[in-house]
Amino acid sequence: MTFIDKHNSGFNTRAIHAGQDLDPVYGAVVPPIHLSSTYAPEAIGKLRKGYDYGRGTNPTRDALQNQIAALETGNAETGFAYTFSSGLAAETALLMAACEPGDRVIVGNDVYGGTYRLLDKVLRPWKLEHQVVDMSNLDQVREALSAGKARMLWVETPTNPMMHVADIAALAELAREFDALLVVDNTFATPYLQLPLQLGADVVVHSTTKYMGGHSDTIGGAVVTENEELAQAVNFQQFAAGASNSPLDSYLVTRGLKTLGVRMDRHVSNATAIAEWLSEHPGVEAV
Ligand X SMILES: Cc1ncc(COP(=O)(O)O)c(C=O)c1O
In the complex, residue closest to ligand X by CB: 87
51 is an active site residue: no
Is 110 near ligand X (CB under 6 A)?
A: no
Closer of 102 and 113 to ligand X (Cβ): 113
Strand partners, 224: 81, 204
Is 156 near ligand X (CB under 6 A)?
A: yes
Burial class (CB in 10 A: 0-12, 13-18, 19+), 45: exposed
Angle at which helices 168-177 and 138-146 cross, to 10°? 20
Region label for 193, one of left (φ > 0), alpha (ψ between -120 and 50) or beta (otherwise): alpha
Is 209 near ligand X (CB under 6 A)?
A: yes
Closer of 62 and 91 to ligand X (Cβ): 91
SS3 content of the chain, % helix, strand, coil (to 5): 40, 15, 45
Q: How far is the CB of 12 from ligand X (least distance, A)?
A: 24
55 is an active site residue: yes
The count of other CB atoms within 10 Å of the CB of residue 169 is: 11
Closer of 67 and 218 to ligand X (Cβ): 218
Distance between CA atoms of residues 269 and 161, nearest Å: 19
**Looking at residue 196, what DSSP letter applies?**
G
Is 112 near ligand X (CB under 6 A)?
A: yes
Which x/- pattern over 69-108 shows residues binding ligand X (rule: CB under 6 A)? Answer: -----------------xxx--------------------
Work out which of 81, 128, 145, 219 binds ligand X, going by CB under 6 A: 219
Contact range with ligand X by CB under 6 A, out of 11-19, 44-52, 185-193, 263-271: 185-193
Is 246 near ligand X (CB under 6 A)?
A: no
Is 114 near ligand X (CB under 6 A)?
A: yes
Closer of 9 and 92 to ligand X (Cβ): 92
Is 58 near ligand X (CB under 6 A)?
A: no
Closer of 156 and 226 to ligand X (Cβ): 156
Distance between CA atoms of residues 72 and 257, nearest Å: 12
Cα dihedral sign, 106-109-111-113:
positive
Contact range with ligand X by CB under 6 A, out of 49-57, 110-118, 142-150, 258-266: 110-118
Closest to 56 measured CA to CA, from 237, 282, 263, 279: 237
Q: How far is CA 250 from CA 77, 88, 90, 221, 244, in A?
A: 20, 16, 14, 10, 10
Catalytic pick among 55, 142, 255, 258: 55
Q: How far is the CB of 87 from ligand X (least distance, A)?
A: 2
Closer of 209 and 235 to ligand X (Cβ): 209
Task: Give the burial string for 49-60 (b: 16+ CB within 10 Å, else e).
Answer: eebeebebbbbb
Distance of CA 255 to the CA centre of its chain: 17
142 is an active site residue: no
210 is an active site residue: yes
Q: Kindly list the catalytic residues.
A: 55, 112, 185, 210
Query: Which residues are at the interface with ligand X (CB under 6 A)?
Result: 86-88, 112, 114-115, 156, 160, 185, 187-188, 207, 209, 219, 221
